[in-house]
Amino acid sequence: MKSKTTAILIDDRFCKGCLLCLQVCPKKIFERGGPRSGAGYGMPRAAKIESCTSCRLCEMTCPDLALTVVAEDQGAT
């Protein structure tokens, strides 16, 4: 099944600005310079969500579980 990403949520209570999501994303969805987290760290932002393939590498790599990829199934491919 193919999935379409509808949102990438970054929880500002948990993000510590490590930016590992930038490094692991094969589609380069993220960029620096997002808002600050609750602790004052510079957070990433999902700048190219339309290119996201819902692989969830960012979600699995985040050491603080601050990232959630929201996707909906698009049917069989």
pLDDT digits (tens, 9 = 90+) for 17-62: 999 999 999 999 999 987 899 999 999 999 999 999 999 999 999 9
Which pTM was predicted? 0.84
Domain boundaries in the chain?
3-68
Residue 5, H or E segment: strand 3-10
Gyration radius (Cα) of the chain, Å: 12
Residue 2 burial (CB count, 10 A)? 11
* pLDDT on residue 75: 63
Question: What's CA 40's distance to the chain center, in Å?
Answer: 19
Q: Does domain 3-68 have CATH number 3.30.70.20?
A: yes
